[in-house]
């Protein structure tokens, strides 16, 4: 079974600095998708960034970028120029390939709570 592991329960960063959140996963599939979701105190789940496993290029969305290491099954999130509004829980999620009727439910890690200090 696929698993997602986030080994950092909490992280802290100074405003305007850069922080990296770690995520590793386990799968026997070669085709899959990875996501980072942000959950602020409102508890809404907000998609931050996605990465297709077949793409070698790391995804980037403004201040958010990933370091995708397929062989190591690692998918870390880098937040540059951290802002106070970045403070939230961050969840890494895995989605397997589409076959056998699977509609691709997400498997989540336990999350990392990010604090941003002014």
Helix, strand, or coil here: 38? strand
Structure tokens at 51: 């990465």
Q: Which among 106, 95, 100, 107 is positioned nearest to 31, based on CA atoms?
A: 95
Radius of gyration of the chain (CA): 14
Could you say which of 22, 52, 64, 70 contacts another protein (CB under 8 A)? 52
By CB under 8 A, the residues from 69 to 98 that bind another protein are 91, 93, 95, 98
Could you say which of 37, 75, 90, 94 contacts another protein (CB under 8 A)? 37
Could you say which of 14, 44, 60, 62 contacts another protein (CB under 8 A)? 44
11 is an interface residue for another protein by CB under 8 A:
no
Helix, strand, or coil here: 85? helix
Residues that bind another protein (CB under 8 A): 33, 35, 37, 42-47, 50, 52, 91, 93, 95, 98, 101-111
């Amino acid at each position: 079974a696929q698993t997602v592991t986030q080994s950092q329960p909490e992280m802290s960063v100074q405003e305007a600095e850069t922080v990296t959140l770690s995520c590793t996963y386990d799968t026997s599939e070669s085709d899959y998708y990875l996501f980072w979701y942000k959950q602020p105190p409102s508890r809404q789940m907000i998609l931050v960034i996605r990465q297709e496993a077949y793409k070698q290029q790391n995804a980037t969305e403004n201040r958010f970028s990933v370091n995708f290491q397929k062989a190591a099954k690692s998918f870390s999130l880098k937040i540059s120029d951290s802002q106070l509004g970045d403070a939230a829980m961050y969840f890494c999620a895995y989605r397997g390939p589409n076959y056998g009727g699977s509609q691709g439910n997400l498997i989540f890690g336990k999350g990392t709570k990010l604090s941003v200090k002014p």
